[in-house]
Amino acid sequence: MELELVKYQALGNDFLVVLDPAGVLEPGARLAAALCDRHRGIGADGLVHLRPVGGGSPPPAEPGCGLWMQLRNADGGVAETSGNGLRCAALAAIDARLCEGPVVTLLTVAGPARAEVLGQAEDAGVEVRVDMGPVVVGSEQPASSFLRGEVAAATLRGLRARQVQVGNPHLVVYDLAESGVDEDGGLLERLGPMLERAVPGGVNVELVTASSERGELSMQVWERGVGPTLACGSGSVAAAAAARATGLVGGTVRVVNPGGVLAVELSGGRLRPSARLSGPARRVARCVVELDDLEGLDDGALRAGAEATA
């Protein structure tokens, strides 16, 4: 069986998109992991499945085009939401004429999100903004308290952390002295996997350094079920919200990811703000995959949907 995919990326955070206008496909964990494998598959940080709202599904929260979006991380696990995934999905829906645009309402496990395609970005790509909804910022704690091993915990000594919910879970680690959290680039690789597992159910991890310029943060990210990525939209929101609650930034924040800059706007209370995320996204390629060609897969990887479309 052939499966058509479209690949999009937002500052290097890349997604394979399954467009399902008939609403009959069910991409599962095995398929997502095989497709996202960068050596044996196509390669991506996640697999996005888009289908129309219909049947017994609730209507979108706002008038206009509404689509269900499911995101699976590179390991096949379901992610509640994704800032860059939402932005790529909205652009993919409009490019494929599933929606007229420029506004698309995307329904996710975490709830509805309103995305708007704003037009050509300053750099290559298209500027897309998404309302990320309410953010819940936890209390400040020593970062070392999240790790039990003496050596690992000592590595985080002096750093602070907050758990932040952006529809999905985050652990933001930062330094109040505004010095580099991970100057040698090795801390994320060493402790990312351990910090991911430090919270039940897993957590996305952001290592954040405040810039000398007010309103700017630098961030590295370890995504749950993926590993290091070039950018993370929900992670940028989490980093900005944690830094705002700590008094390091105000309501408008530039978050410098390894792949580029995302803009975060925060309003409301410091521990319960609402957030909007903006940045570029672009289409990379269209591709057709024969499922039998992927290692360990067959038509059954689409479960019941395979019989409906074969």
3-state secondary structure 87-108: HHHHHHHHHCCCCCCCEEEEEE
Question: What pairs with residue 209 in β-bridges?
Answer: 218
pLDDT winner (highest mean) among 141-155, 177-191, 204-218, 289-303: 204-218
Tokens 């897969």, located at residue: 297
User: Is residue 211 very low, low, confident or very high in pLDDT (cuts 50, 70, 90)?
Assistant: confident
Short-list 209, 212, 215, 213, CA closest to 251: 215
What pLDDT score does 215 carry?
93
| 155 vs 112, higher pLDDT | 112
pTM, rounded to two decimals = 0.91
What pLDDT score does 261 carry?
97
| 116 vs 211, higher pLDDT | 116
What pLDDT score does 309 carry?
29
* Phi, psi (deg, nearest 5) at residue 188: -60, -45
Helix-strand-coil split of the chain, %, nearest 5: 20, 40, 40
User: Is residue 244 very low, low, confident or very high in pLDDT (cuts 50, 70, 90)?
Assistant: very high
Tokens of 204: 């996305």
**In the chain, what percentage of residues exceed pLDDT 90?**
73
Tokens of 293: 């060609």
pLDDT tens readout for residues 249-264: 999 999 999 999 999 9
Please state, in angstroms and rounded to a whole number, the distance separating the CA atoms of residues 272 and 185. Answer: 32
* Phi, psi (deg, nearest 5) at residue 194: -70, -40
Please state, in angstroms and rounded to a whole number, the distance separating the CA atoms of residues 175 and 168. Answer: 23
Least-confidence region, from 38-47, 50-59, 205-214, 297-306: 297-306
- Following CA atoms 91, 94, 100, 106 in sequence, which dihedral angle do they give, to the nearest 10 degrees? -60
What pLDDT score does 308 carry?
30
Q: Does the pLDDT value for residue 150 go beyond 90?
A: no
C-alpha to C-alpha distances, 146 to 73, 161, 162, 205, 207, nearest whole angstrom: 23, 9, 10, 12, 14
Q: What kind and span of H or E run contains 242?
A: helix 233-246
Q: Does the pLDDT value for residue 310 go beyond 50?
A: no
User: Is residue 185 very low, low, confident or very high in pLDDT (cuts 50, 70, 90)?
Assistant: low
Q: How many helices (H) and strands (E) does the chain have?
A: 6, 18
Domains of the chain and CATH, by start: 2-128+283-309 (3.10.310.10), 136-271 (3.10.310.10)
Q: Does the pLDDT value for residue 306 go beyond 70?
A: no
C-alpha to C-alpha distances, 138 to 44, 141, 170, 171, 242, nearest whole angstrom: 31, 9, 10, 10, 8
Please state, in angstroms and rounded to a whole number, the distance separating the CA atoms of residues 87 and 113. Answer: 10
